[in-house]
Amino acid sequence: MKTLIVKSVGSYINILSYLSKPYAANKALNLFIKPRKGRVLKHQIDFLDTAFNEELIYNNQPIMTYRWLGTKDTILLAHGWESNSYRWRPLVTELIKKGHTVVALDAPAHGRSGSKTFNALLYAEYINVVAKRFKPSIIIAHSVGGMATSAFLNKYQLPDLDKLILLGAPSEFKDIISRYVNMLGYNNRITQQLEQTILKRFGVVPKAFSSAKLIRTVDTKGLIIHDKADTIIPYNDALLINKEYKNSTLITTEGLGHSLNDPSVREHIYNFLEA
């Protein structure tokens, strides 16, 4: 049923493309950048409220942050698509036991943060605001949070950053768009116009936005963890990032999926942090 609904939406936008390609491509892009999930749910509130909640601002939009105080390094956590800071609960619980100060932020249009739409460039700006406020020496990012972190580090640098961990991070934005186009079944009229629409909206064409290319300027010691059978972000993305990220180590998991929310992954993280 879900697949049928998705294809129906794609067919509707395909029809619109014969009336106006720019209008239809705008519709397609707006659908792509608007998350359907990720806002804070009732059962998540109790945990998030164990932290100091602090709202920062970027371009008049609120950025919600959560801070658990410790005596060691400050670790910044950046979640992925259609998620929020609650996804880090098991990791946060252990990190604060180990004495770390932990800061998590909600991405644009996610959790308690502002904006009606999401994109990695905007997320990078949110991360920059949070990094300026809390000065982390370690960043752990999941999925598109990893892509946004790569963009942030490429643009702003972070001289005091000691370690970077990327979990299931995508590399090539053009591939993300390609998977979206295939999922919706868009025709060639939409596909061709979509690239121009993205360039006009964000100032970059999909093929030019690549975590692997962005990460080349990062010298910080890095750990990449990716599942070989990840059905959301292909394992090849990890290989691309690892190839360009000269100071990184790649750990391959099997059977954990895209979330990587597993005790074995957390153990890899702890070992890397303590090395």
- Each residue's pLDDT tens digit, 53-88: 999 999 999 999 999 999 999 999 999 999 999 999
DSSP string across 6-19 = HHHHHHHHHHHHTT
Using alpha carbons, list the distances in angstroms from residue 117 to 38, 95, 109, 111, 145: 12, 31, 5, 12, 15
Q: Is the pLDDT at 170 greater than 70, yes or no? A: yes
Pairing status of strand 74-78 against strand 138-142: parallel
Question: Is pTM beyond 0.75 here?
Answer: yes
Alpha-carbon torsion 254, 161, 79, 176, what sign?
negative
Percent of the chain, pLDDT > 90? Answer: 93
In the chain, domain spans: 1-33+184-207, 42-172+210-274
Mention every residue, 6+ apart, whose C-beta is less than 8 A from residue 64: 53, 54, 55, 85, 105, 106, 111, 112, 113
Mean pLDDT of 194-210: 93
101-105 and 138-142 as β-strands: parallel, antiparallel, unpaired? unpaired
CATH number, span 42-172+210-274: 3.40.50.1820
Q: What interhelical angle do 173-184 and 2-17 show, nearest 10?
A: 100
CB 224 within 8 A of CB 242: yes
Task: Report the pLDDT value the prediction gives residue 1, as an integer from 0 to 100.
Answer: 54
Give per-residue pLDDT as tens, 83-134. Answer: 999 999 999 999 999 999 999 999 999 999 999 999 999 999 999 999 999 9
Asked if residue 2 has pLDDT above 70, the reply is no
